[in-house]
């Protein structure tokens, strides 16, 4: 399992792990049912404390990304979001709103934002259409 961590970043280590795993799952690098590195192994690889990895894994489970089985390990969940449709749509709106506003202050025009999103989504259009 490949995961890079930047200790220089202002983002907390455990959040970097959370997003790194999410990215690996979304890209298909980690398939559903696949086992993650153990808490102790990943901590050793990244040269950080096992408690920090455990915190990241707990967060990932609460988001429905992985399943933790005591004694066995952590595995990529089959289906993801445990949220209601209303909550899912609300969060998607917030994500889009944040993108648009931050991009606006980076001096990008709506057509430029639109192009960036479409380019990113079309990258994997030739796949099964499941993993962006």
Q: List interacting residues with DNA (CB under 7 A).
A: 10, 12-15, 36, 38-41, 48-52, 54-55, 57-58, 61, 68-74
Number of H helices, E strands in the chain: 5, 2
126 binds, among DNA, a second copy, none (CB under 5 to 8 A by kind): none
| Binding flag, residue 83, a second copy (CB under 8 A) | yes
29 binds, among DNA, a second copy, none (CB under 5 to 8 A by kind): none
- Could you tell me if 36 and 53 are in contact, meaning their C-beta atoms sit under 8 angstroms apart? no
**Both tokens of residue 16?**
């970097």
Q: What is the Cα–Cα distance from 127 to 40, expressed in whole angstroms? A: 34
| Binding flag, residue 91, a second copy (CB under 8 A) | yes
């Amino acid at each position: 399992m490949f995961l890079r961590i930047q200790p220089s970043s202002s983002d907390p280590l455990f959040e970097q792990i959370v997003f790194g795993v999410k990215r690996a799952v979304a890209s298909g690098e980690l398939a559903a049912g696949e086992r993650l590195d153990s808490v102790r192994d990943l901590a050793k690889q990244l040269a950080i404390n096992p408690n920090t990895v455990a915190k990241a894994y707990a967060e990932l489970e609460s988001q429905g990304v992985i399943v933790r089985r005591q004694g066995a390990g952590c595995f990529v969940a089959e289906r993801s979001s445990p949220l209601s449709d209303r909550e899912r749509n609300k969060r998607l709106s917030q994500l889009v709103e944040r993108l648009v506003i931050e991009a606006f202050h980076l001096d990008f025009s709506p057509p430029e934002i639109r192009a960036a999103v479409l380019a990113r989504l079309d990258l994997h259009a030739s796949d099964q259409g499941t993993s962006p």
